[in-house]
Amino acid sequence: MVSGPAVLRAQTLPPVPLAEPASAPKAKGDKPSFIPFPIVFSQPETGLGYGLAVLPVFRLGPDSATRKSSARLIGWRTQKKQSLIQLTHSIFTPGERFFIAGEASFYNQFPINYYGFGPETRLADKSVIQYKVFIFQERALKRLAPGLFAGLQYRLTDLRDVQVNEGIGNDPLNSRLFDRPAREYQQSTRVSGFGPALLYDARDNVLSTYRGSYLEVSALLNGSALGSDYRFSRYLLDARRFQPLTSDNKTILGVQLIGQFQSGEVPFRELANLGGSNLLRGYYEGRYRDRQLLAAQAEVRRVLFGRFNGVLFVGLGQVGNTFRDFGKGGLKAAGGAGLRFRFNRRDRLNVRLDYGVERGGSSGVYFSIGEAF
């Protein structure tokens, strides 16, 4: 449920303002709610899980010229003995002069299925590994023009207590993890990176978009000067476009193109990976992982009745050590359908339930808060 697309093209639609005119009064009841609500979910990566969430949505500034900010505080535990405490935030300061976003997450005793790395890993090579990881990331971007922001970002990942709980077959000491350099699983791993980010965000609503474009280009440079145990670079491209298919905004098409490209010595936990609740739903998260990733996905979102919406989605993607490896193992494809419940009607905050199937026939059920993209 938690922390990662088609190319943007010109549209012949009339321009839509990013927000209401500055003179619009602040809406009544425009106060955040800090009342916790229970969550129960099931995902392939976690099994049955339960916990609490607090989801305040708020606006900084005297009127609606500034888009709403949001935060999320979640704590949960699963039947596989995974637990998470996570705080995320996306904040537009008054007048949208700055955009500040970040995350602090702690995953305790987190077991995952590990299949190795590369585009040709086998289901039969599944082992179960476990670790603790703390993630902290923050970005501060300054507005350069309406919707356009630039600035800097920092990310820290601290991985500890890596163990192999179940090996391949009947051999408890056999795992594709041992194909990696020994320091990745015998020692604690700290990755610390700093770099620039450029963001164009013209979405009408960042929680559930009806129309608008989103484009992020960013880099993280990890090295010993920042306290990192590994020296490598990560570059991210994330492009999204949202378009109503009907005049009443009841049917929305969303498309996304995402690429993650890395150079240098990348430890296994930091490799780009396909699968999970946000990218190619139907694949287990991390089913395929490597240094380079390119994927595209599309969704059609439709109002059904009351607070319920329906979604159809499809995605394609591939990973590889180099771009030449994208031709190995076949293109990864997945698709499925889902339901949305509008938990917060005023701010269009949805709770979602998705069922995805990948081309090999494996499937997954995903519960999460907010849209996949």
Q: What is the pLDDT of residue 13?
A: 33
Q: What is the pLDDT of residue 40?
A: 82
Q: What is the pLDDT of residue 331?
A: 94
Mean pLDDT, 10 residues at a time, the chain of 373 residues: 34 34 45 82 77 91 83 90 92 94 93 93 93 97 96 97 90 91 93 98 91 97 96 98 95 98 96 94 94 98 95 97 92 97 88 93 88 93
Q: How deeply is 69 buried, as exposed, middle or buried, from its count of CB atoms within 10 A (0-12, 13-18, 19+)?
A: buried
CA atoms within 13 A on the CB side of 132: 8
Q: What is the pLDDT of residue 10?
A: 31
Residues pairing with 196 in the sheet? 152
Distance CA 255, CA 316 (A): 12
Q: What is the pLDDT of residue 62?
A: 78
Q: What is the pLDDT of residue 30?
A: 64
Helix (H) or strand (E) holding 364: strand 363-369
Distance CA 266, CA 263 (A): 7
Distance CA 60, CA 68 (A): 7
Residues pairing with 151 in the sheet? 141, 197
pTM value is 0.85
